[in-house]
């Protein structure tokens, strides 16, 4: 049986990410005009090297938002931003204040997101 090198590398990188990529939930509160605040979970998954990652969140309406973040290497600032796009046309702009510069969401912090059309997501993690 012959297995291609690219396939082996792909499987190896995938397994490495499953074992080493930081990921988890960020539980927060969604506030929208005219509605009671609701708990919502944002999920993150960092890349293999940790300098970037993916974010996702599903609102109570069923709209799913996805986007990516990028950390600036050796930047002493604890700020990180991300833009997420909804599958129904809305967008979300998020500003993170990280507990540890350059670590990403896995090190904890706070996030504040504004949703186009109204609404906010806030969390301490």
Q: Which two tokens stand for residue 108?
A: 């904890």
Q: Distance between CA atoms of 8 and 79, rounded to whole angstroms?
A: 37
Assess whether pLDDT exceeds 90 at residue 51: no
- pLDDT for res 5: 46
Q: Distance between CA atoms of 11 and 17, rounded to whole angstroms?
A: 10
Element (H, E) at 43: strand 38-46
Helix, strand or coil, per DSSP, at residue 30: strand
Name the CATH superfamily housing domain 22-124.
Quinohemoprotein amine dehydrogenase alpha subunit, domain 2 (2.40.128.120)
Task: Encode pLDDT of 6-46 as tens digits.
Answer: 444 444 444 444 445 899 999 999 999 999 999 999 999 99
Task: Encode pLDDT of 67-122 as tens digits.
Answer: 999 998 777 889 999 999 999 999 999 999 999 888 889 999 999 999 998 999 99
User: Which DSSP state fits 72?
Assistant: P
Helix, strand or coil, per DSSP, at residue 9: helix
Place of tokens 């002493």: 76
Would you list the domain boundaries of the chain?
A: 22-124
Q: What is the pTM of this model?
A: 0.80
């Amino acid at each position: 049986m012959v297995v291609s090198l690219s396939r082996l590398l792909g499987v190896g990188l995938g397994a490495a990410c499953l074992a080493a990529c930081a990921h988890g939930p960020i539980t927060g509160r969604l506030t929208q005009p005219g509605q009671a605040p609701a708990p919502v979970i944002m999920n993150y998954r960092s890349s293999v090297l940790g300098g970037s990652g993916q974010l996702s969140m599903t609102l109570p309406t069923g709209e799913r938002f996805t986007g990516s973040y990028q950390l600036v290497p050796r930047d002493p600032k604890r700020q990180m931003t991300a833009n997420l796009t909804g599958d129904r046309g809305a967008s979300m702009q998020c500003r993170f204040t990280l507990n540890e510069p350059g670590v990403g969401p896995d090190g904890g912090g706070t996030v504040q997101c504004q949703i186009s059309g109204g609404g906010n997501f806030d969390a301490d993690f």
